Amino acid sequence: MSACTALEGLEPPPLETAFHPLPPPAEPPVPIPQSRTPPAPGSARAEIATWLSANGYRDFQVAALMQLADTESGFRPCVIGPGGYHYLYQWGGTRLRQLREYAQTSGCPQLKTQLAFADRELRSESSFSCFWGATSTPAAYVALRRIFGHGSC
């Protein structure tokens, strides 16, 4: 059997489709760009709490991380503080360089990127174990102040 034999029983499309073709497929939806403007402190506060809760942090841990963000930056994700410390949790030195590499930017990373980086630090480095061992907001906050400030419990 030849390749042409398999096509012998097929009919060509109706002639009217040549003059009235089907409409083109719909355009894919245009992605909504993320805002490059940092959120105001009130909006940032709500976004931080929502993000932390959605990513498995317990209520007292959310409260401690919120308290730290307020202390460090006043919920201003792009603030530069004294001593060359930057952004939501006032990263500096090696940790600031690592944040910028993670975010792939030399400017202020978006808030969700900063939160994802902080989450990665907390979950992947053993020096943050005292935060995970805390059972209350005050204990978790003290642990955060110690470890984010000096890198160990």
Mean of pLDDT values over 127-137: 94
Other C-beta atoms closer than 10 Å to the C-beta of 120 total 13
pLDDT per position as a tens digit, 37-56 = 899 999 999 999 999 999 99
Please spell the DSSP secondary structure of 90-125, one letter per residue.
TB-HHHHHHHHHHHT-SSPPPHHHHHHHHHHHHHH-
Query: Tokens in use for 68?
Result: 């730290």
The domain locations on the chain are 45-150
- Tell me if 130 sits within 8 A of 147, measured CB to CB: yes
Closest CA to 148 of 103, 79, 96, 82: 96
pLDDT confidence of residue 127:
85
The 10s digit of each residue's pLDDT in 83-129 is 999 999 999 999 999 999 999 999 999 999 999 999 999 999 888 89
Task: Report the percentage of the chain scoring pLDDT > 90.
Answer: 68
